[in-house]
Structure 1
Amino acid sequence: MKRTIVSLVLGLALSAGTAHGAGSVTATNLGIATLDTMLPLDMKVISDTGNTLSVSMDGFLTPEKVSVKAGYEGIAENHLYNFSALQFDVRAGYRITSLTFSGIAAGTLDVTAPPPGTNPDPYPFAGNYFDISWGIQGGSGYHRAAGDDFAGTQAFSVTTGQSIEGRSVLEFTNTVSATALGYQALVCTDHCWDQLYDASASLQVSNLVMTVQIAAVPEPETYGMLLGGLAVVVAAMRTGLSARRDRGV
């Protein structure tokens, strides 16, 4: 079973142009700058229409394959982390409306089912997951994008609606993880012996892309015109209703 959890927020840095370095990108209505990172982060603009920006995020999640193999003695775990602080500014007059993380997850989950009549405690398992967690610097919100239990090679894509204007610094903690636990069981044929059953898991995430949707923010005058037009419509409806009542309709 695979589950995906999403809740994504971003704000981006102002400028116009194309990618110009591993630590920053610029686009028509927004840009991104790396303030701090544990692993080298290589960002490149894939496409920019003004309303949609897609950026490759190599190194945002560890590019290494995370793997474990476990016997029955205890749980084997392998977690690789990365921390990144990214500054995002939306160009004046625009805002972010949604953001998507997409990529490829290649994982393995290998655990042998216990023989009939046995019930190991703890029960054997194999699992893997990636997790992107962050908060806005100085804010109180907490956000996640995650997926787990990948067996084989699968494309993933997680999207959230969000309204972000102005400058934001987002602090990301990203994890790729694999865990497993094997077991020991008594097996009997013409004699009995303790059979050891290993368990293993692995995960590698690649081709990570962040896609941001951007829209123009209506000017205050536009809101005033909309409200004024609505008031005219309401007044006309009331006038028409009064006229029908006077005629006894």
Structure 2
Amino acid sequence: MKQTVAGLMLGMLLSSPVLADTSIDTTAFSLTFLDGPLPEDWNIALAGQSGNTYSIDLVSLNNHLQRIEANDVTGLGSWDSRSDWALLGLDVHAGYRVTSLTVTGTAFGDYAPGQLPDFPPGRAANFAAFYMTLWAPDPQSYWNQYDNFNAEQTVDVGTGGLSLTAPAQLGLSGAISAEAWGVEGDGAYAGSFASAQIRDLVLHVEVSPVPEPAAYAMLLAGFALVGCAVRKR
């Protein structure tokens, strides 16, 4: 009987929907969804911590920027595009400061214009871009953009040195597009193809403890003792 009840409980747990996380609270800061196009899909997840750096999986952005394709085999043209954005609130906890914000990931694309002998080639194009804007309080923007690219390209946008202790807002957005037109001539036809995707987006938040006033006092006292020792010599 116990095994039957345990089995039923496990089945209910595995079949229940996974609730999306719209906020993350760590020792050093909290990160919360404030706005975006599809509230029902907002999702971020704490992926891990290494030293003073927290890694946040941008789940909903990764889900919404999945691979798109344009494949023209009819001569009428083919195209597709997709975009997504998120506005996050960043609150730094007392005793800490944020020293950098970086988003890493991968843009992947390929394109192949159709080819026929003695005819101009068909057309194919793709595009991928990722943008990050920090309001703290004035806006600072960072981005990567790729046009007509094959294979993987690195998404790596970051603020560099910060000393952020006040609440701030972080805007993240991505866009991808693909388009293709084949080529026709002498009764023959060659299709064109293009694709684009942004994936594996992770926000890295680097923090540092802020010394307490007592720590500053001890540091100054230490410098004073060193100065006295030097003067005595």
Q: Calculate the aligned-residue CA RMSD, in Å.
A: 4.2
Q: 1:108 to 1:141 in 2, by over 3 A?
A: same
**What are the within-5 Å matches in structure 2 for residues 20-169 of structure 1?**
22-39=21-38, 40-49=41-50, 51-61=52-62, 62-70=64-72, 77-112=79-114, 124-136=123-135, 139-148=137-146, 149-153=148-152, 156-163=155-162, 164-169=164-169
Q: Which moved more, 1:51-60 or 1:161-170?
A: 161-170
Cα displacement (A) at 1:207 = 2.6
Q: 1:142 to 1:213 in 2, by over 3 A?
A: closer
CA distance in 1, matches of 2:72, 2:224: 70
Check conservation: 1:104, 1:156, Cα contact below 8 A: yes
Decide which structure has greater helix share: 2
Match of 2:193 in 1: 200
Cα displacement (A) at 1:55 = 1.3
Give TM-score, length-normalised by structure 2.
0.66
Query: Aligned with 1:143: secondary structure?
Result: strand
Cα displacement (A) at 1:106 = 3.4
User: Could you report, residue by residue, the CA deviation over 1:153-194 in whole angstroms, capped at 9, with x for unpaired residues?
Assistant: 56644444141222112333x233123354657x6xxxxx37
Identical pairs, percent: 24
- Matched residue type, 1:59: S
CA distance in 2, matches of 1:79, 1:91: 39
- Matched residue type, 1:67: E
Q: 1:184 to 1:26 in 2, by over 3 A?
A: same
Ranges of 4+ aligned residues in structure 1 off by more than 6 Å: 71-75, 220-234
Q: Which moved more, 1:155-164 or 1:57-66?
A: 155-164
Match of 1:215 in 2: 208
User: Could you report, residue by residue, the CA deviation over 1:203-232 in whole angstroms, capped at 9, with x for unpaired residues?
Assistant: 222332111111123456767887898899
Cα displacement (A) at 1:69 = 3.3
Check conservation: 1:81, 1:176, Cα contact below 8 A: yes
Cα displacement (A) at 1:105 = 3.4
CA distance in 2, matches of 1:112, 1:212: 44
Check conservation: 1:99, 1:161, Cα contact below 8 A: yes
Q: 1:157 to 1:114 in 2, by over 3 A?
A: farther
Query: Aligned with 1:86: secondary structure?
Result: strand
Check conservation: 1:128, 1:201, Cα contact below 8 A: no
Cα displacement (A) at 1:59 = 0.9
Query: Aligned with 1:42: secondary structure?
Result: coil
Cα displacement (A) at 1:129 = 0.8
- Matched residue type, 2:168: S
CA distance in 1, matches of 2:55, 2:178: 32
CA distance in 1, matches of 2:20, 2:211: 33
Q: 1:181 to 1:49 in 2, by over 3 A?
A: closer
Query: Aligned with 1:60: secondary structure?
Result: helix
Question: What stretches of structure 1 of length at least 5 have no aligned partner?
Answer: 1-19, 188-192, 241-249
- Matched residue type, 2:203: M
Check conservation: 2:82, 2:177, Cα contact below 8 A: no
Query: Aligned with 2:44: secondary structure?
Result: strand
